Amino acid sequence: MYYPFETQVTPLTNVRHKRMLPVPGEVLVRVGDRVEPTQVVARANLPGDFRILPVARLLGVPISQVKRHLRVNLGDEVQQGQIIARRRGLTARSVKSPIDGMVTASAGGRILIEAQPTTFTLRAYIYGTVNNVLERYGVVIETIGAVIQGVWGAGGESSGVLKCMVESPDELLRGKTIDPPCHGTILVGGAGLDKAAIERAQEIQVRGIVVGGLEPELISLVERLPFPVVVTEGIGTVPMSTPVFHLLATNDGRDASISGRVQSRWDVVRPEIIFPLPAETPSQAQTQPGTPLTVGTRVRMVRAPYMGIVGTVVALPTHTRRIETGVRIRGAEVDVGQRAPIFVPLANLEILR
Amino acid sequence: MTEKQRIGSILLADCGTVMTKAVLLEQVAGQYRFVAQGEAPTTVEYPWSDVAAGICHAVEQISEVTGRRFFDRSGNLISPELAGGQGVDVFAATVSAGQPLQVVLGGLVRDLSVASAERAAAGTYSLVKAILASDGREGGLSDEQHVRAIFDAAPDVICIAGGIEGGATTPVLELVETVTTACSLLDPDLRPRLLYAGNSRLRRQVANIVGEWAELRVADNVRPTLKEENLLSAQAELDALYMQDGVGRLPGMDTVSDWSRASLTSTARAFSRLVQYLWHLGDPLKGVLGVDVGGASTTVAAVFDGRPFLTIRGDLGTTFGGEQLLQKRGAETITRWLPEPMSSDEARGLLINKEMRPTSIQQETRELWLEQALAREAIRTTMEVARPGWKPGAAQPYPHLLPLCDTIVVSGGVLAHAPRPGQVALTVLDGLEPIGVSTLVLDAYGLAPALGSVAAVKPLAAVEALDSGCLVNLATVITPVGHAHRGDLILKMRVTYDDGSTFTVEVQYGDLEVLPLLPGQQAVLELRPLRHFDVGLGGPGKAGKRRVSGGLAGLIIDARGRPLRLPKDPKQHQQMRQWLWDVGG
């Protein structure tokens, strides 16, 4: 038995999205509330600026004498420039607050002044209904729609109208095709994009880009973009796999949410595109998640030379076979529409669900 | 189960970040034998979110081979073994799948207490996110900058060292005050733990300063004197925190704990235990080294003079960390080990793709070479951290080179699954640069950590499993040390096989030669170094005889020189290709 990894490329499913604050805060919605992507659903105070003032050293007095020179108490609000400690006499010196804030600690001849905390706001990110409130931490938002998980991504989250820019999954998204009507949309490319497309997309202010592959020399450029980019297959020029392209193309013009956030290990986060669809009961997936690979399973190949190609498992030989590297390994025979099935190591297959 | 109860079968599992391995040992004819092994992707993430599922998947493969059922219909482990041979008497697990501890280190002097704290942190799966040194080496950071560094690092634990016993007090306490200030500014749920491993006379004052602002733990002073280092206590505390925070929070770990009779051990600790055991079997004047190149981390475990030294790079393995290494040190660091040119962009792209598909394997030879090149650098960079902490004594005739090691255990998927043994041997030789005469032993089934863990439950099983071939001899390596010109004759060697056949070899400086000596075969080597070269037989120019065992890659004579110098482009890749060819890779 082999249990391959799974990637969601689902035309219709129940989407549950957990939205969490980075620190405990306040949840602003209730269970059952309808929310929109840009709606703030929770907020929290993040520690603001602070200053530690070495008062004893600045006044030139022993630590034990600092208290008698202080002009403020713990909990006092202070203004920038306000004197907080003063030493009188021939060698008079004073210490002023460098910021607006509050005196929150005093120890070891030092004073801590904290500025007002900054407020972090958490947005809903997708259209949906609040399914659960995780007190002080966040919410779970539920919707019915399509989900596509990417492989690599950059940038944060965004939402906009999906706009398919290419005719086929192996076409490149080129700068010259990006025109003013693309403003505010999420562009769908094919096998990749050129440098001009990145520059033009930034100029036109698109809301995101989805492509099959990304040339490695463009990675640092993409990482600096103000909008998210999702790569569905891998680094390089890789045609978008057919089910992914088909799902994106058939939903051209729909509202979508896109996230380029990625974390490949420990609390894995995958980039994604979600588009809510008119409420229907999602059909059952072909198999339950986490089931072993069997003959008939639709799989995607994840490593060169077949990266991104989708096919159907037609045989699972029990014996190992030698591959180009010289390794003998177990694999599957996969029908990819060619004359004969191809042999692919089990480790290089994933289920599209 | 009482001590007297029979343990006829032992199931071991190792849950790595990428792969989970399972191994069945069974008593056959009164001896523990390796029976079968399974390997499956680790299942911490969707759709399983249950680390126990990965163990079940790996164990299923053992079931397919042996016909033995290990779990009942409810998914519970059948233990002890039933009369019909179903289930298993003992289950034990090692784990490295947990997120490494995020650590901030604080101390007085960068090269003393902070360096010791750094080595203590490297004794478990950890990532050092920031260093707070009071000696100004880090640019003389102010208290405020220290607090900001802690904020940015968001550590799980802050380890404070500093002050030799009876030494400095004020700067240590000031550092503790700063750290406490940082903790006071954080939300209580997000406050890190504090591990104090400095001047022991200050413990009470430290506790008073920290108060309720953070959970305080105390370990022995990592630098009790200027010359002495004592890491074991701090390492044990940090490892306990890793097992509690990093491993304990893994989904499904409760189930694994319930199955396990012994307490769970981190993979690296168990690996280190095995290396310690091997040291007791070998030449006590030399060391024993273990290198485990995993998907997400690299471990070097060494024993010299009976003292164990454990170093883990929690951020660098052959799946994760390669791209960051490339960005930090330049692609050339990795691509210089390739037998053909590869651009920086191509290397970066391939490393990212591997990171995004951690369980996948290379189907193209270029990608295989890249992974083996990365393994070399993972070993080398881990050695950079490890070696300054070693106390090899007489085993180190040359301070700038690796100490003499009798046995070198090599473990990890990239090595165990390499298509040719010569590739493994060359990767290890390039990564470690051993000297003298060493035996390379390959952990072909990924059993080494498991054997270390079984030693805690049933030491005899570990001994007998080793004897039954769980570790495979990869090669005996002879590395002369000295100075010569390329092509100079530096060693004459007569090889006498057990069947009486013999031949003589003359080794030139710069050569990398492989002589036939199969696994199970033994031979006596008569080594006569020339030009004052040292082959580890007592000093420069010393000749002598050694009885050696064969291995998968044969008998290797590495006369390329130490330290190893790679030619510059354009000959670099040609040279790598030649060496690969020489060792049959």
Asked if A228 and A247 sit in the same domain, the reply is yes
Q: In terms of CA atoms, which chain B residue is nearest residue A270? A: B356
Cβ separation A234–B357 shorter than 8 A? yes
When the pLDDT of each residue in chain A is averaged and rounded to a whole number, the result is 93
**How many A/B residue pairs have CB atoms within 8 Å?**
149
d(CA A346, nearest CA chain B) in Å: 8
Confidence at residue B5, expressed as pLDDT on a 0 to 100 scale: 61
Domain CATH number, residue A229: 3.50.30.10
How does pLDDT run across A230-277, given as a tens digit for each residue?
Answer: 999 999 999 999 999 999 999 999 999 999 999 988 889 999 999 998
**Same-domain check for residues A216 and A178:** yes
A58 and A34 assigned to the same domain = no
Q: For residue A281, what pLDDT is reported?
A: 64
Name the CATH architecture for the domain at B9-96.
2-Layer Sandwich (3.30)
- Interchain pair A267, B48: CB under 8 A: no
Same domain flag for A74 and A171: no
Domain chopping of chain B, boundaries = 9-96, 101-247, 268-315+402-582
Does residue A238 sit in the same domain as residue A271? yes
CB atoms within 10 A of CB A270: 20
Q: Quote the number of domains for chain A.
A: 3
Of the residues A210, A241, A276, which one is the last residue of a structural domain? A276
What type of residue is B359? T
- Please tell me if residue A268 touches chain B, with a CB cutoff of 8 Å: yes
| Facing residue for B356 by CB, picked from A2, A152, A328 | A152
* A65 and A110 share one domain: yes
Look at residue A304 and tell me if it is in a domain.
yes
Q: Which two tokens stand for residue B385?
A: 């951290």
Distance from CA of B374 to the nearest CA of A (A): 17
Other CB atoms closer than 10 Å to residue B314's CB: what's the count?
29
- Asked whether the beta carbons of residue A152 and residue B48 sit closer than 8 angstroms, the reply is no
Residue A87 lies in a domain: yes
The ipTM is 0.91
Integer Cα distance of A162 and A185 in angstroms: 6
Q: Is A176 exposed, middle or buried (0-12, 13-18, 19+ CB in 10 A)?
A: exposed
Q: What is the 3-state secondary structure (H, E, C) of B545-573?
A: EEEEECCCCCEEEECCCCCCCCCCCCHHH
Assessment of whether the complete model's pTM goes beyond 0.90: yes
Q: Measured between CB atoms, which of B43, B356, B368 is closest to A151?
A: B356
Domain boundary among A276, A306, A324: A276
What is the structure's pLDDT at B2? 45
Digit-coded pLDDT (tens) for A32-65 = 999 999 999 999 998 888 888 889 888 988 888 8
User: What is the domain-level CATH number for residue A97?
Assistant: 2.40.50
SS (H, E, C) A68-124: HHECCCCCCEECCCCEEEEECCCCCEEEECCCCEEEEEEECCEEEEECCCEEEEEEC
Q: Which domain holds residue A56?
A: 50-114
CB A348 to CB B361 under 8 A?
yes
Alpha-carbon gap, residue A27 to B290, rounded angstroms: 51
- Whole-angstrom distance, CA of residue A206 vs CA of residue A214: 18
CB contact under 8 A, A23 and B187: yes
Query: Does one domain contain both A263 and A234?
Result: yes
Q: Are residues A148 and A34 in the same domain?
A: yes
The minimum CA-CA distance between A271 and chain B, rounded to whole Å, is 11
Take residue B201 and report the two structure tokens written for it.
């006379």
Nearest Cβ partner for B363 among A51, A328, A348: A348
Q: Mind listing the pLDDT tens digit for each residue in B368-387?
A: 999 999 999 999 999 999 99
The answer to whether residues B546 and B524 touch, using CB atoms and an 8 Å cutoff, is: yes
Q: Are residues A11 and A134 in the same domain?
A: yes
Contact residues on chain B for A329, CB-CB shorter than 8 A: 361
Q: Is residue A156 part of a domain?
A: yes
CATH code of residue A327:
2.30.30
Q: Which CATH class is domain B101-247?
A: alpha beta
Nearest residue on chain A to B17, alpha-carbon basis: A265
Cβ contact B47–A6 (<8 Å) = yes
Contact by Cβ (8 Å): B351, B326: yes
- Same domain? For A323 and A348 the reply is yes
Residues A169, A310 share a domain: no
Q: How far is A277 from chain B (nearest CA, A)?
A: 23
Query: Could you report the per-residue pLDDT of A107-158, keeping only the tens digit for each?
Result: 778 888 999 888 999 999 999 999 999 999 999 999 999 999 999 999 999 9
Residues in B touching A262 (Cβ below 8 Å)? 356
Indicate if A139 and A59 belong to the same structural domain: no
Instruction: Establish if A244 belongs to a structural domain.
Output: yes
Q: Which residues have C-beta within 8 Å of that of residue B139, sequence separation ≥ 6? A: none
Residues composing chain B = 585
Contacts of B53 in chain A (CB under 8 A): 3, 290
> What are residue A281's phi and psi, to 5 degrees?
-80, 120
Option in A1, A152, A347 nearest B360 (CB): A347
Q: Is B483 left (phi over 0), alpha (psi -120 to 50) or beta?
A: beta
pLDDT in tens, chain B (585 residues): 444 567 889 999 999 999 999 999 998 888 888 899 999 999 998 889 999 999 999 999 999 999 999 999 888 999 999 988 899 998 999 999 999 999 999 998 888 999 999 999 999 999 999 999 877 555 556 788 888 899 889 999 999 998 889 888 888 998 998 899 888 888 888 899 999 999 999 999 999 999 888 999 999 999 999 989 999 999 999 999 999 999 999 999 999 999 987 789 999 999 999 999 899 888 899 999 999 999 999 999 999 999 999 999 999 999 999 999 999 999 999 999 999 999 999 999 999 999 999 999 999 999 999 999 999 999 999 999 999 999 999 999 999 999 999 999 999 999 999 999 999 999 999 999 999 999 999 998 888 998 888 877 777 888 788 777 788 999 999 999 999 999 999 999 999 999 999 999 999 999 999 999 999 899 999 999 998 999 999 999 999 999 999 999 999 999 999 999 998 877 899 999 999 999 987
